[in-house]
């Protein structure tokens, strides 16, 4: 595993557990109701890169746990020849993680592919989920009709500058790229097993049938960046139409990574959702 430059508090919060046969790295901070943060699936994604700006603030109210999914960060990266890296395996892994640590029912926040994973667990095992936040979430077959967005992401070639292009595509117009975060994501993708895994991951289908999504009765907050080029407004609107017990919150000037682009607003609105009765 590649050694990363993390602050001392992050090292102290770093733990591992085996879930669904995969050694799974996660950070754990704070006390209170269980809150699980699930990162997205782009190159260089992991729990630290996605959630570092939110972890300690969430820990004031929750026992907050941010895990690395299989193929990412400090978690195991089994060979694609023996591990499918499909959405069903991600759902199964998160269910096993929750059950192994005895976390259910937990509040879940999922970004992008992590949103599809949180949603998949909620569809399959609603008793494990207290409340759900979908932020820039995958899961619905409603996409940006502009083909140039996909083309930009396909041009990623493991170089530092192509990682910069990925980050620029994922974020809103006012976001200034943190060079330390760029380096963090770049270093993660220099690991050969991570490169092998991401090739399989980006080809996986992240969508569910609309009737399966509509079956979810769990209270859900749909959070969107107004400038998100991936989870476009039509997708978020469709989630609100399908999910009976859902609320929506749109953040201006933000793109696909609201938790990095507007962490104070994001933590504030999600904490209110989890701690207050909005029914």
pLDDT tens per residue across span 178-212: 999 999 999 999 999 999 999 999 999 999 999 99
Q: Is residue 83 part of a domain?
A: yes
Q: Does residue 47 carry a pLDDT above 90?
A: yes
Q: What is the CATH number of the domain that holds 47?
A: 3.40.50.1820
What's the pLDDT at 76? Answer: 98
86 an active-site residue?
no
Q: Is residue 88 part of a domain?
A: yes
What's the pLDDT at 3? Answer: 64
- Tally of structural domains, the chain: 1
256 an active-site residue?
yes
Q: Is residue 32 part of a domain?
A: yes
pTM beyond 0.75: the answer is yes
Helices 87-101/113-124 angle, 10° precision: 70
Q: Does residue 23 carry a pLDDT above 60?
A: yes
Q: Is residue 159 part of a domain?
A: yes
Q: Does residue 257 carry a pLDDT above 60?
A: yes
Q: Is residue 54 part of a domain?
A: yes
Q: Is residue 163 part of a domain?
A: yes
Listed in sequence order, the residues at least 6 apart from 73 whose beta carbon sits closer than 8 Å to its beta carbon are 25, 39, 45, 46, 47, 48, 49, 188
Q: Is residue 2 part of a domain?
A: no
Q: Which of 47, 112, 137, 246 is catalytic?
A: 112
pLDDT band at 24 (very low <50, low <70, confident <90, very high): very high
Q: Does residue 4 carry a pLDDT above 80?
A: no
Mean pLDDT of the residues in the chain: 96
Q: Which domain holds residue 179?
A: 8-275
112 an active-site residue?
yes
Q: Is residue 1 part of a domain?
A: no
The length of the chain is: 279
What's the pLDDT at 2? Answer: 59
């Amino acid at each position: 595993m590649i050694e990363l430059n993390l602050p001392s508090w992050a090292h102290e919060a770093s733990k591992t557990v085996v879930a669904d046969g995969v050694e799974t790295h996660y950070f754990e901070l704070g006390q209170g109701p269980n809150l699980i943060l699930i990162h997205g699936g782009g190159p260089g994604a992991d729990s630290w890169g996605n959630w570092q700006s939110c972890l300690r603030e969430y820990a004031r109210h929750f026992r907050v746990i941010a895990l690395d999914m299989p193929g990412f960060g400090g978690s195991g990266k089994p060979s694609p020849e023996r591990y499918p890296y499909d959405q069903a395996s991600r759902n199964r892994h998160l269910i096993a993680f929750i059950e192994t640590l005895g976390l259910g029912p937990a509040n879940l926040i999922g970004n992008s592919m992590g949103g599809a994973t949180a949603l998949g667990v909620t569809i399959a095992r609603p008793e494990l989920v207290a409340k759900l936040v979908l932020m820039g979430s995958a899961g619905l077959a409603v996409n940006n009709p502009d083909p140039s967005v996909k083309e930009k992401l396909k041009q990623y070639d493991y170089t530092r500058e192509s990682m910069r292009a990925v980050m620029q595509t994922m974020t809103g117009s006012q976001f200034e790229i943190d060079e330390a975060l760029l380096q963090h994501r770049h270093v993660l993708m220099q690991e050969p097993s991570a490169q092998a895994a991401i090739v399989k991951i980006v080809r996986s289908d992240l969508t569910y049938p609309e009737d399966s999504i509509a079956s979810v009765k769990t209270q859900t907050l749909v959070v969107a960046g107004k400038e998100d080029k991936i989870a476009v407004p039509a997708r978020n609107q469709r989630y609100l139409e399908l999910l009976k017990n859902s609320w929506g919150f749109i953040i201006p000037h933000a793109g696909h990574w609201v938790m990095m682009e507007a962490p104070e607003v994001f933590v504030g609105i999600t904490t209110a959702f989890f701690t207050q009765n909005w029914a």
